[in-house]
Structure 1
Amino acid sequence: MKKNIDMLHGPVLPALTKLALPIMATSLIQMAYNLTDMIWIGRLGSNAVAAVGAAGMYMWLSNGLASLSKMGGQVNTGYSLGSGSRKEAAGYIANTLRFAAISGIIFGIVCMLSATPLIGFFNLNSPQVIADAKIYLQITCGLVVFSFMNQSFTGIFTALGNSKAAFLATTSGLIVNIILDPVLIFGLGPFPAMRIMGAAVATVIAQAIVTLTFLIFTRKDTLIFPEVHFFGKPNMHYLTSIIKIGLPTSIQSMLFTGISMIIARLVAGYGDAAVAVQKVGSQIESISWMTADGFAAAVNSFIAQNHGAGNRDRIRKGYSHAMGIVLVWGIFCTLLLILCPEPIFRIFITEPDVIPMGVDYLMILGVSQLFMSVEITTAGAFSGYGRTVPPSVISIIFTSARIPLAMLLITTSLALNGIWWSITISSIFKGILLLTWFLFFLRKEMKKS
């Protein structure tokens, strides 16, 4: 299939770049998708942002669970294709999609039935913020199955070397979201003003459109999907391998979110405005980590296929090229957040008493953007080898350290800024240590040849 990139032969940099650019563009589209929501919600005030920020933590948690099927499916599919076994690759794809659908439905039911205690965890102050948070949670997480499916489809198409499919599917969702957000939030024409509920409905419809677009691409694919049978009994051979590869990454991601929720509870002690600052700041910060995550997905698939084919030298060259590009991007993001925090933050929230808090957040987190980009890309390289434990170990240890470090720093003159510094310091350590670990690992792999 001409749309699929050959990652096993020819020059390394062009192949990796052709695969990575649509993925990075997809990440930027996803970032724009989130920022569009935040821009319109920000027009409702910081209380609305705080409500979405609290409920959005559970969407973030769902991403961790969804990464189990995504990572396990992507790595196993890529390895099978590299080994020349299309039948096995089709089996992994079918079981990945089944697992994603079932886990998404279960997560959605739990969130719909448990909205009150889930939002109550954050100890929010305003009754209106609490009510809005519950509504947003029940709609977006209740129908989160579309998000689960989209993540798995993205991983599968990336493993096939067709990263353009994810880009086009995500772009279709962005266009729908851009149109629906102002219409449903503020009410235009025959549509009533639904405020927070409107933002949630727009998000779910956009995600459903993305899923539909992916299904259209599966119908057009001639490489592997004709052999994929979605409806059928789960195969324990495939599921065991999917879970083995994806579980460490999933646990890491969910623990990361759980720790972030505890951090958010500490932030809530400084008022609902501080929660809004964290929500907006993290969305702005996603310009670096979502792009790095997209490039990590390309590195993952490139290494998985070449590992399956035994092309060790291509793996070394691929990682070197990827890291060079990510270093440049990380430096750019660091400078952007440190030098231009106020005009960037004003795009989302214009309340004078909130802006200084947002400026502090962006400047402090800006220090760690380079290291965070290195960590994410290196984790993708490890995962391409099927070694998801090393990045999980590093992430769990140093992300967990944020809680005691934050509790210590808020007792100093840093106050709220101490929480932001705990995040930055841990990110710096994670980037340095994971890079060092991978370089030693790669050296051992190269000696095997």
Structure 2
Amino acid sequence: MDSKSGRSPGASPARGLAAFASRDFRRYQTARMAVIIGAEAQTVAVAWQVYSITHRALDLGYTGLALFLPGLFFLLPAGHVADRYDRRQIILLCYSLQIVCTSALLAIAVLGLRDVRLIYSVLFLIGTGRSFSGPASSALIPHLVPEGHFVNAVTWGAAIFQLANIGGPALGGILFTLPLSHWMGGVLAGAGVVYIATLCSLVTFLVLIGSLSVRLGRMEHRDISLKVVFAGFQYVRRSPILLGSFSLDLFVVLLGGATALMPIFAQEILHTGPKGLGMLRAAPAMGALAVSLTLARFPLRNKAGLRLFIGVGLFGLATIGFGLARNLSLSLMALAIAGAADMVSVVIRSSVLQLATPPEMRGRVSAVNSMFLGASNELGEFESGVTAQWLGAVRATVAGGVGALMVTGLWAVLFPQLRDADELTAKALRQDLRSEGGEKLLSATSD
């Protein structure tokens, strides 16, 4: 990892607001908060709009599938592009596409079109933009702060993400229910006004990202070849810590995620409507935010692997609790615990991703991680919709939580290197790769 500080790789992790000393980090995270709030509000509007049209759990699952498929199709070019071109320019281009897509969703809402295939088509384009912006954004972050501040930056980045996840769904629920029947004939009521707010957040994002001073240019200087393009897969495959952490998140969230089913819980089980849906979507972020603020003050120093597995196990238990709850307070409590437990996993996995990967390969390795994340989140929403169609929302959620617990125990056995991981430093994490015979792959990244 490129270092801008004099701290040694094994130095104690920075505390407090150390990462915010960087101007680019402050602007990037401000932009990120704005765009996530807008995206989460938009997600609430899309979910409620689709369910109000079809009233089928399976169709909610298709929204996740539409977002996931582009990441699968464009995985290899997205990672290579992130290493070959200026990552900042890639981000700007991809979020310009997001503006076009949100404008299309606004048009669908204003015109009162009730063909969900139009919505799925727009979501596919949104997923295409995300498939390229995700690896570029992830690979950009280590260049915004000194190496000694990186874990602190990851922790604050996670806190900001969760804060936006609290505000975004709540904002979406509030805007969706605003009484606008006398404004422009009510054509903007509901989803329309949410999409306008999302457009404002996207414009703010583009302005702030455009003002960043970091200019990376081309990181990968070797000619295009299959070996270069597939290097990210090879690197992950040879590192048990990377492969274990990526796949653990994939299967736990794939089985235990219940986000796609929240409109069903809000309307048919808890009877709370769109505002309740916004609260349900925000509850995991509340728990995650509390944990991320705690980790910023008291950073993880050791036993990272053990803490990861404990957090994932608690996530599975909390998912079961949410599925069994029958009132809003208990549901919110279970989701908050799930979010808190997942935050420990997020900080550890995000740190492992960047610290265990050389700078010139971060785009391709991040693309591999994006595929796992997309499968766990968007494909997980599709899986939730399918199982809920078969079993019902409650049984599907409980079964998913049980499955997450089973995966946690199995992965603790299959990936002892991940379970026994101690310090979150580049030296310690890359030593794992060397111990598995990956010296040639490490050296090849600088050829």
Q: Return the TM-score normalized by structure 2.
A: 0.49
Bigger RCO (CA 8 Å, 6+ sep):
2
**TM-score, normalised on structure 1?**
0.49
